[in-house]
Structure formats: C-alpha cells, structure tokens
Amino acid sequence: HTTSPIAPREAVAALPAYSAGKPPQAAEGYTPYKLSSNENPLGPVPAAAQAVRDVNTLHRYPNPGAEALRAALAEHLDVPLEDIVTGAGSLGALTQLISAFAGTGNDGQRDEVIYAWRSFEAYPIVVRTAGAQDVPVPVMTDGRHDLAAMTEAVTDRTRVILLCTPNNPTGPALTHAEVTAFLESVPSHVIVVIDEAYLEFVRCADPVDALALYREHPNVVVLRTFSKAHGLAGLRVGYAIGQPTVTEHLRKVAVPFAVSAVAEAAAVASLQHLDKVHQRVQTIVQERERVVTALSQAGWTIPETQANFVWLPLGRAAVDFAQAAGAQALAVRPFDGEGVRVSIGEPEANDRFIELCRTYSGGPE
Ligand code: PMP
C-alpha cells in the first residue's frame, strides 16, 4: 500500500464510514424481510405515490427552498414559514445545523457537540465532518438518555446538544417534564436539537411537546422526517423547525435544491392524507405492542420502545443473533458488543422474529 499524495482532512481520515442496514439474504423456504433500517413496511399513502408519477417538470429545478412543502407544513403545524428549513432527509437538515453552528473555532479549538450514545449512527459522522468534537454521553442501562450526565458534559466549548426521542436504537422517549428541566439546566446560547424522527409512534405519558418548547426557547430546534411514519425514506425529505435567529443560518449553508421536485410533491400529498398516515402508524404501533408482549412472555427484558423498532441488549451475542436471523432471511441491525435493533415489519416478519426470540439460546455469552 503506497502512500498517496492525496489526503483528506485529518478529521475525515479518522471517520468511520456510515454502515446502512443490510438487505436480507435469501434463505430456502423463507420470504425475505428487511428489518434493518426502521422503514415503514406499509409504504406511503397511495396519493403520495401518485403525486410522484404526476410530476411533469423533471427538466426543471425544484422550488427553491421547497416553498410549497414549507407552506403546507407551516399551515399544518401552525408555525411561520420562515421557521421551517427542509433538507434531504432530516439528516440533511441536521447536517446544515451542525455546519452552521459547530466546527473549528477561530482559535483553532474544536467546538463540542454532546449527544447520548448509543444513538443515531450518523451523529458522530456529521459532527466530526464539520470539524467539531463529538462528546458522546453513555445512555443508562434502560436505554434512556442520562440527562444529568449530559448537563455535566457541558463546557464553554459546547455549541450543540442532540436529544434523540425516541432514541434510535434503544427505543425510549423523553418526557416533556424531562426536556423542560433539561433546557433550564443548559446555557441559553447552546442549541438543543430535539430529533423526533419517530415522533408519530410515541404513545407514552407526558410526550415531549417540541413545538411548544421551540416557541418558548430560541435555542431549541426540532427535527422531523417523512422517512418513517410517512413511508417516504426513498425520497429523502425532512425538515428542521426553529426560530429565525437559527433558521436564517441553516438556509445559508443549505445545498441548493436539496429537496427534489418528486420528494416535495410526495410530501405535500402525504400531508393532505394525514388520517391515512395515522392509520398506518397505528397498525405499526399495534404490531409493536404484539411483539413487545410476546418477547416479554418469552422471558426477554428489553428497554421500553416508543418507536418502530425494538432493541435487544444482547451484548456479545449481538452478531450471533443477527446471523441466526439472517439464516431465516430476516435482515436485522447488530451493533457488535451492544445489541440488535429490529424494526417492526410485516406481520409475517414479526411472527418469524418472535419465534426466533422464543427459541434463541445461542451466542458467546
Ligand atoms: N434521526 C434519527 C434518530 C434516525 O433514526 C434517522 C434515520 N434512521 C434520521 C434522523 C434520519 O432520517 P432521514 O434523513 O431519513 O430523515
């Protein structure tokens, strides 16, 4: 391996590559199911798919700033248009936020971004790519954010804190009381992001009212997506909501036309059929409850989940379990040494997963 004169920035050289959920392997006698990316097994509402087919301006650039989608969101959420910034997925919007607010300071020191860990795999990548320092704070054994420890982690270099509720991959949601108290405990110049990618699946008591928090706190930014409840992961569309003091900077660093015309059309159509979207979400929530009950009856202890997945804290057996699932054409998401995340899928996929959990006794532990 000869040394090449071409070298990336130091922060990039040390980056782990994002590893996306794998597709299922074929296995004799099994219909394959993908339970590795928290996708919506029911897909989008038919009107959203139709809206994609109806787009007849493929030779034109899309609306700058996804104006039509932002107008629809502004009306639906009752927030001002200028408070909404769209992106290629909520990850696109998060990337804008981090690049606007955290990096390497004028003094050469890195800004710090605090997040719970384990959480969404893309957080460290986005933060380090911006040249900032990631500060992961371990989640508690029940998979919840350790908010006291996250407050403790704040320094005078902290610029952004990421809260993920429900937390991917462990599952629990934060409560409104917890986040309200947390906001009191951090300096008001630190941006607090509330990543609500799985918002629609939450059924807990005292759920976070993130829109109320953003209205009261200029440092709060809410992240939402069409990838999960709306079943539009393939189109890449999400958004951030914040006060103009924040969103004006997000707009400046945006990749122009990040939301395609087809993505915008589908998202607008999906918002016009929210009753159907919510019916689909309810079906997935009921399947989740069925899976959770069955696992508990089979003797498994797992963190409370408020999202469209469950977390099996298998430790060193994580990869072994994922292989056992793979042998039955179920793709799941192992995190070596920690656990396995399994998305709620089609009823037959969930049945097979439950049966595997009932009979599984393997693993290196
Ligand atoms: N936040 C969380 C917590 C996620 O799990 C995901 C997707 N896995 C995202 C953000 C990004 O979703 P998207 O970019 O598809 O909106």
User: What ipTM score was computed for the predicted complex, to two decimals?
Assistant: 0.99
The structure tokens 């502004």 sit at 74
State which ligand 1 atom lies nearest to the alpha carbon of 92: 14
Task: Enumerate the CATH 3.40.640.10 domain ranges in the chain, comma separated.
Answer: 46-272
pLDDT for position 361:
87
Between the CA of 290 and the centroid of ligand 1 the distance, in Å, is 24
State which ligand 1 atom lies nearest to the alpha carbon of 88: 14
Task: Enumerate the CATH 3.90.1150.10 domain ranges in the chain, comma separated.
Answer: 18-38+275-359
Between the CA of 164 and the centroid of ligand 1 the distance, in Å, is 10
Assign 3-state DSSP to the chain and report helix, strand, coil percentages, each to 5: 40, 15, 45
For CA atoms 249, 244, 135, 166, give the dihedral sign. Answer: negative
Between the CA of 21 and the centroid of ligand 1 the distance, in Å, is 12
pLDDT for position 162:
99
**Residue 317 corresponds to which tokens in the numbers above?**
């057996």
Pairing of strands 220-225, 238-241: antiparallel
- Rounded CA-CA distance 19/330 in Å is 18
Between the CA of 228 and the centroid of ligand 1 the distance, in Å, is 8
Between the CA of 90 and the centroid of ligand 1 the distance, in Å, is 6
- Rounded CA-CA distance 34/326 in Å is 10
Q: Which residues have CB under 6 Å of ligand 1? A: 38, 89-91, 120, 164, 168, 195, 197, 225, 227, 233, 238
Between the CA of 91 and the centroid of ligand 1 the distance, in Å, is 6
Our mutation pick for probing the ligand 1 site, out of 86, 125, 195, 270, counting the most ligand atoms within 8 A of Cβ, is 195
Between the CA of 2 and the centroid of ligand 1 the distance, in Å, is 38
Multiple choice CATH, 18-38+275-359, 3.30.70.20, 3.40.640.10, 3.90.1150.10, 1.10.10.10: 3.90.1150.10
Residue type for position 243? Q
List phi, psi (to 5°) of 238: -155, 180
Confidence (pTM): 0.97
Our mutation pick for probing the ligand 1 site, out of 19, 202, 224, 227, counting the most ligand atoms within 8 A of Cβ, is 227
Using CA atoms of 300, 301, 303, 308 in order, give the dihedral in degrees to the nearest 10: 10
Our mutation pick for probing the ligand 1 site, out of 19, 120, 344, counting the most ligand atoms within 8 A of Cβ, is 120
Domain 46-272 -> CATH class: alpha beta
State which ligand 1 atom lies nearest to the alpha carbon of 225: 16
Residue nearest to atom 13 of ligand 1 (CA): 89
pLDDT in tens, the chain (365 residues): 567 889 898 888 888 888 888 999 999 999 999 999 999 999 999 999 999 999 999 999 999 899 999 999 999 999 999 999 999 999 999 999 999 999 998 888 999 999 999 999 999 999 999 999 999 999 999 999 999 999 999 999 999 999 999 999 999 999 999 999 999 999 999 999 999 999 999 999 999 999 999 999 999 999 999 999 999 999 999 999 999 999 999 999 999 999 999 999 999 999 999 999 999 999 999 999 999 999 999 999 999 999 999 999 999 999 999 999 999 999 999 999 999 999 999 999 999 999 999 999 876 54
Our mutation pick for probing the ligand 1 site, out of 127, 168, 196, 224, counting the most ligand atoms within 8 A of Cβ, is 168
State which ligand 1 atom lies nearest to the alpha carbon of 38: 8
- Rounded CA-CA distance 153/137 in Å is 8
- Rounded CA-CA distance 189/340 in Å is 36
pLDDT for position 177:
98
Q: Which among 48, 31, 88 has a CA at the least distance from the CA of 240?
A: 88
Residue nearest to atom 7 of ligand 1 (CA): 197
Beta strand extents in the chain (DSSP E only): 33-34, 84-87, 112-117, 133-138, 158-164, 191-195, 220-225, 238-241, 309-312, 330-331, 333-335, 339-343
State which ligand 1 atom lies nearest to the alpha carbon of 93: 14
Q: Which among 85, 89, 87 has a CA at the least distance from the CA of 73?
A: 85
- Rounded CA-CA distance 151/172 in Å is 19
